[in-house]
Amino acid sequence: MRFEEHLNEGINDKGIFKAMFMAGHPGSGKTYTAKKIRSGSIEARIVNTDKFFPFFKEDWEKWYPIADRVKKINKDQLTLYINSVLPLAVDGTAGDPALILRRRGILESFGYDTGMVFVNTSLETAIERASKRERPVKPDFIVTAYKRIQKLKSFYRSRFDTWIEVDNDEGQLNDEAITNAFKFTGKFYLAPIINPLGKQHKEQMIENGWKYLSPNIWKLKEIDNALSGWYK
């Protein structure tokens, strides 16, 4: 099944060829933070497998049988987003650095600039939030993931030139913090494209009146095939 959406954006829209990774441990509130700091003029599409779980609610206790279906829907949607060169917010825990760098490499191969927002909370807050989810996460898992991702933070900071940390404990994501992060991410999405491929693709698309990468720069099947490595 292909997840269809109406994509009415054009090559002259703001934020094209830009992707911000949202990173942090489970329970840090990455998706909530992404929504809070999203620019009003840039509607970055959130790439997050969890957004499709409501379609499979009756199977939540049988995650593995539906995992491949959820990934397929997510990949099909991402194919459409990239074909339309839309701004992206990639949501994930970032517990696997090889996976994060591979995904960044895939996006950059299409011409995207990339950055990272790292969301912090205390371990106690993470455990409390995870316990209240509709799909609760066990405390032992949260503790292990928290320690691992905290150790990885300095590594990610060294690999992403565009980087900001956001503290999201109770009361910390206040108006001032939101405004600062909002300005930072807005500046990233609105900045000129740095990636040489992105600049070249944009020039070609404007010159020829193309709205999508496919079929003239990339075939849609080629985009889909390149995204096969998104989950490996």
State which of 23-32, 84-93, 173-182 shows the largest mean pLDDT.
Answer: 84-93
Strand duo 163-167 + 113-120: pairing:
parallel
Q: What's the rounded mean pLDDT across residues 152-179? A: 84
For residue 132, is it within any domain? yes
For residue 50, is it within any domain? yes
Are 93 and 23 contacting, i.e. CB atoms less than 8 angstroms apart?
yes
Helices (H), 61-163: 63-83, 97-109, 123-131, 139-159
Domain that holds residue 143: 18-180+190-226
For 62-71, 72-81, 120-129, 185-194, which range has the lowest pLDDT when averaged over its residues?
Answer: 62-71
Q: What is the pLDDT of residues 54-75, one digit of tens each?
A: 555 555 555 556 677 778 888 9
Return the residue matching tokens 């970055």.
44
Q: What's the rounded mean pLDDT across residues 169-179? A: 72
Count of Cβ atoms closer than 10 Å to residue 6 Cβ: 4
- Report whether pLDDT(33) > 90: no
- Report whether pLDDT(85) > 60: yes
What pLDDT is attached to residue 209? 93
What pLDDT is attached to residue 15? 93
What pLDDT is attached to residue 171? 67
C-alpha distance from residue 171 to each of 168, 174, 176, 178 (Å)? 8, 6, 11, 11
Total number of domains constituting the chain:
1
CATH of the domain at 75: 3.40.50.300
For residue 197, is it within any domain? yes
Q: What's the rounded mean pLDDT across residues 203-229? A: 95
